[in-house]
Structure 1
């Protein structure tokens, strides 16, 4: 039996810092993978995840429907639109494939797509994720703002389940806090369902939403799948593991 496989694009970071002592300065760098909690949550689930680090997406993300078809689902997490649009050919000034249009066609034809939140997801903390008004957003259950959309909430925002669904089955109605998310607008279409939300400054913001699009499925999870917006309390709870597995199974059409 063929193993069901997810392509996870993004969630890697190169961190640099400079320490100054008087007139002497030294620098250091380290590499971080924010997807480790997500990957651990799917261990033993029978779902294989192939991670393509963000810095390799420009050169290695699939450029054809045939290549995408080898994956049962694609997850974009903390990887900007530019990282997908700038193919090696485009960098050389030659025409190439629009991979955001390609992903929309992949979903319409029966694939599954998830976008998870982060500083470079949706429109992004500083507007640099830049998915607003792209073909990819056409298939999502939410639309992106035209301006920076990041919300930092160090005091915590409490997610509340708003709709019964296979993804939320067996989970409590309230979850541990998140520490931030991307502000988005839920689509007002019959094929879109809001599953969980948070309240920020008196406004209800989508946290988890799903959509049937063409022959495929899409999902928006507007907070991190790892730290820092995903609080340690949430990451270390049984809810996190169950939620991530349910999301993956729904994308795989096992729910």
Structure 2
């Protein structure tokens, strides 16, 4: 059983409703990624989902402490500011651990790290995610672009499997369509396992004693439509990814 810590994949929405001359507001919190969590738990993994606003309270101050909590950490659709600007630093000017360093050190010491795409991972919308400007960038198997890196594919584009690797062995050559991804560059020595619209989709590599992976589209809506999240091989894809990241040798 692999201990998986899913960080992010949550959001608040504050809406303004206007009806004639009157208006009112509503607020809503959404914890996404249910498809991913269900898929991994169904394969026997222990998954803890930490919403974005709780990350600084859960992620400890050192990589060694994080290794006590998880075998694999998944960062999904949450920007670097959440890890580098805790309230104590932003509002009270108190020094705090840089949790992007914590993630890097966790990986170097043998942990597994998966970054999943979205509007606030890799570079993200308007380059606000900022992951390429953090110490964690050196641990990723891809180079993060220093600009808005979204590749919007509203008509859908079907990913294709590339090469031969235990994570993707036996999966179909063509996968269900996705609606977008983050543009990245695979690092020298990393292995591209799948592509979409001519861009790397799934890339794996290593950092220190640990293993790393980048899945540059969503693991859930909106870039991953029901055809992808409901795909028969969706649980297999992420189960194998997590097991490989944990150091397991997959037959």
Q: With structure 1 as the length reference, what TM-score do the two structures score?
A: 0.92
SS at match of 1:74: strand
Does 1:10 find its partner at 2:8? yes
1:29-178 map, 5 Å: 29-70=27-68, 71-91=70-90, 92-178=92-178
Does 1:252 find its partner at 2:251? no
Q: Is the 8 A contact 1:125 1:151 kept in 2?
A: no
SS at match of 1:197: strand
Q: Is the 8 A contact 2:41 2:47 kept in 1?
A: no
Q: Is the 8 A contact 2:159 2:174 kept in 1?
A: yes
Does 1:179 find its partner at 2:179? yes
Q: Is the 8 A contact 2:63 2:109 kept in 1?
A: no
**Structure 1 residue runs without a partner (length 5+):** none
Distance 1:215 1:61 in 2: 20
SS at match of 1:76: strand
Shift of 1:232: 1.1
1:146-176 Cα distance to aligned partner (Å, 9 max, x none): 1111122110111011121111122101100
1:66-124 Cα distance to aligned partner (Å, 9 max, x none): 32112101110011100001134423212222211221122111111010001110111
Distance 2:164 2:185 in 1: 20
As a proportion of its length, which structure holds more helix?
2
**Structure 2 residue runs without a partner (length 5+):** none
Q: Tell me the matched-pair count.
A: 247
Q: Is the 8 A contact 1:206 1:222 kept in 2?
A: yes
1:135-155 Cα distance to aligned partner (Å, 9 max, x none): 101011101111111122110
Question: Which of the numbers 202, 206, 222 marks the counterpart of 2:200?
Answer: 206
Distance 1:238 1:118 in 2: 23
Shift of 1:10: 0.2
Q: Is the 8 A contact 1:81 1:130 kept in 2?
A: yes
Q: Is the 8 A contact 1:181 1:224 kept in 2?
A: yes
SS at match of 2:133: coil
Question: Which of the numbers 192, 195, 202 marks the counterpart of 1:194?
Answer: 192
Shift of 1:222: 0.3
Q: Is the 8 A contact 2:185 2:200 kept in 1?
A: yes
Shift of 1:41: 0.8
Q: Is the 8 A contact 2:73 2:112 kept in 1?
A: yes
SS at match of 1:132: helix
Q: Is the 8 A contact 2:10 2:29 kept in 1?
A: yes
Question: Which of the numbers 226, 234, 240 marks the counterpart of 1:232?
Answer: 226
